[in-house]
């Protein structure tokens, strides 16, 4: 963004910058809550440290603690749940979900300062969330994870769920996708015809309509069957809910996707995603599960395409944009609010911001490209998308 690059017309120099040294403030999804309810402690590598998740046997509540025991550094993820506490495998100190030492069987008394870090948790949408704030404050009023009604309804399928660790990229890469219309055509073989972003407070939304591509097989494109309408919002830095409506054979299939991540180190993160599908009239549970699996598979393909890009690309703090690109800088300004102290959040990070891309030029060019691809293959004269 230096003035020099616009005045001397020299080659643009990429400013790669260093990934942030801290991790975002916000709720981070650790995965399906059920996964942690098997009676065993689970180790999670996140936020540059290690956590342990366990379910209190008596209360049934899920808790998250630092995994290393403050006594002599034992790993609590290798310990055992005893009652409502987690027992360290090293000397059997018992740690409660509130972080307090609940007992030391071989000692007369528990040292009054025997306390480890307990992380604030939330169960929503059948998933477990942990609150991360480098300043140690609780979530502000209204900063929570919205309920997805389909996750609790018999009219919807169950969640599918996938987890993949991405090494060699900071999680900002995935958030950039919120404003990146053109990559949907070039990376995901979709055909966006409408694209709008709205950022406000801790929420960043993307509204998109995408048509099928006549030059792609169903397996190769995002909107395989018919027109796809998508309303996707990040609630905080890492949890996106995407409502999708796909026209297919005269019916509209309604899907909810969750796309979320938590950082492991400044240059690695764990990406997780899952899908729910509303059952069509007469659809059996099996058919709904199949439809959800299919939606998740499409999503998996999409992420594999993104991941290939992220693994090979460089970090870039000063993207060189054209008039048909989305508001990358404004999105990053929104995203910045999660990386500064609360008192340093500026109004321009949270003020409402709207931007709709005029897709006319892109749609015309992409129609021509689709037609040329078809003509090259001698497969007819259809002129692009939506037909
Ligand atoms: S290290 Fe955990 S009880 Fe000693
Ligand atoms: Fe993408």
Give percent of the chain with pLDDT exceeding 90: 77
Which one, of 142, 338, 150, 168, lies nearest residue 236 by Cα? 338
Q: What is the mean pLDDT of residues 242-260?
A: 89
pLDDT in tens, 79-127: 999 999 999 999 999 999 999 999 999 999 999 999 999 999 999 999 9
Fold that domain 26-132 belongs to in CATH:
Rieske Iron-sulfur Protein (2.102.10)
Ligand 1 pocket residue status of 80, Cβ below 6 Å: no
How far, in Å, from the CA of 173 to the mean position of ligand 2? 9
Give percent of the chain with pLDDT exceeding 70: 94
Distance CA 137, CA 120 (A): 10
Ligand 1 pocket residue status of 95, Cβ below 6 Å: no
Residue nearest to atom 3 of ligand 1 (CA): 91
Instruction: Indicate the SS3 state at residue 88.
Output: coil
> Residue 344: is it exposed, middle or buried by C-beta count within 10 angstroms (0-12/13-18/19+)?
exposed
pLDDT at res. 304: 85
Query: Which is more confidently placed, 280 or 375?
Result: 375
pLDDT grade for 369, boundaries at 50, 70 and 90: very high
pLDDT grade for 281, boundaries at 50, 70 and 90: confident
Does 345 have pLDDT greater than 80?
yes
Task: Please determine whether the domains at 26-132 and 152-376 fall in the same fold group of CATH.
Answer: no
Ligand 1 pocket residue status of 69, Cβ below 6 Å: yes
Range name among 139-148, 319-328, 375-384 with the lowest pLDDT average: 375-384
Burial 320-333 (b: 16+ CB within 10 A, else e): eeeeebbbeebbbb
Give, in words, the CATH class of 152-376.
Answer: alpha beta
Do 24 and 135 touch, CB atoms closer than 8 A? no
Which one, of 132, 137, 199, lies nearest residue 343 by Cα? 137
pLDDT in tens, 8-36: 679 999 999 899 999 999 999 999 999 99
Ligand 1 pocket residue status of 115, Cβ below 6 Å: no
Instruction: Indicate the SS3 state at residue 115.
Output: strand
pLDDT at res. 221: 61
pLDDT in tens, 254-278: 999 999 999 999 999 999 999 999 9
Which one, of 38, 74, 58, lies nearest residue 66 by Cα? 74
How far, in Å, from the CA of 259 to the mean position of ligand 2? 11
pLDDT grade for 1, boundaries at 50, 70 and 90: very low
The number of helices, as runs of H, and strands, as runs of E, in the chain is 7, 19
pLDDT at res. 384: 45
Domains in the chain: boundaries? 26-132, 152-376
Mutate to test the pocket of ligand 1, among 66, 74, 107 (most ligand atoms within 8 A of CB): 74
pLDDT at res. 220: 64
Which one, of 324, 322, 321, 320, lies nearest residue 12 by Cα? 320
Does 39 have pLDDT greater than 60?
yes
Average pLDDT, the chain: 91
Does 387 have pLDDT greater than 80?
no
Does 288 have pLDDT greater than 90?
no
The closest ligand to the CA of 101 turns out to be 1
pLDDT in tens, 176-234: 999 999 999 999 889 999 999 999 999 999 999 999 888 887 666 655 568 899 999 99
Q: CB within 8 A of 20, min separation 6: which ones?
A: 170, 266, 339
Which one, of 150, 112, 305, 328, lies nearest residue 241 by Cα? 150
pLDDT at res. 73: 98
pLDDT at res. 224: 59
């Amino acid at each position: 963004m230096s003035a020099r690059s616009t005045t001397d017309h020299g080659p643009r120099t990429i400013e790669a910058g260093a990934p942030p040294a801290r991790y975002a403030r916000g709720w981070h999804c650790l995965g399906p809550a059920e996964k942690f309810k098997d009676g065993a402690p689970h180790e999670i590598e996140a936020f540059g440290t290690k956590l342990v998740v366990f379910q209190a046997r008596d209360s049934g509540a899920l808790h998250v603690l630092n995994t290393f025991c403050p006594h002599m550094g034992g790993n609590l993820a290798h310990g055992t749940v005893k009652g409502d506490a987690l027992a360290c495998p090293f000397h059997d100190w018992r740690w409660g979900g509130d972080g307090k030492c609940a007992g030391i069987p071989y000692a007369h008394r528990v040292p009054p300062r025997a306390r480890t870090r307990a992380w604030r948790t939330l169960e929503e949408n059948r998933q477990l969330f942990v609150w991360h704030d480098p300043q140690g404050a609780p979530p502000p009023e209204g900063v929570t994870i919205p309920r997805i009604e389909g996750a609790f309804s018999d009219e919807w399928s169950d969640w599918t769920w996938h987890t993949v660790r991405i090494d060699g990229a900071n999680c900002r890469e995935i958030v950039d996708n919120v404003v990146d219309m053109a990559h949907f055509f070039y990376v995901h073989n979709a055909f966006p015809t409408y694209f709008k972003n709205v950022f406000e407070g801790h929420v960043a939304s993307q509204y998109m309509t995408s048509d099928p591509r006549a030059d792609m097989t169903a397996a190769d494109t995002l909107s395989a069957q018919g027109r796809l309408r998508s309303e996707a919002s990040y609630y905080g830095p890492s949890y996106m809910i995407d409502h999708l409506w796909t026209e297919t054979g005269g019916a509209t299939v309604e899907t909810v996707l969750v796309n979320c991540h938590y950082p492991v180190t400044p240059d690695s993160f764990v990406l997780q995603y899952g899908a729910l599908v509303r059952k069509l009239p007469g659809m059996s549970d099996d058919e709904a599960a199949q439809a959800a699996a299919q939606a998740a598979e499409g999503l998996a393909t999409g992420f594999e395409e993104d991941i290939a890009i992220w693994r090979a690309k460089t970090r870039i703090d000063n993207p060189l944009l054209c008039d048909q690109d989305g508001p990358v800088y404004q999105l990053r300004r929104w995203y910045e609010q999660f990386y500064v102290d609360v008192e340093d959040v500026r109004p321009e990070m949270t003020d409402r911001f709207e931007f709709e891309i005029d897709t006319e030029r892109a749609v015309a060019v992409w129609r021509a490209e689709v037609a040329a691809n078809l003509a090259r293959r001698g497969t007819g004269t259809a002129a692009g998308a939506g037909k």
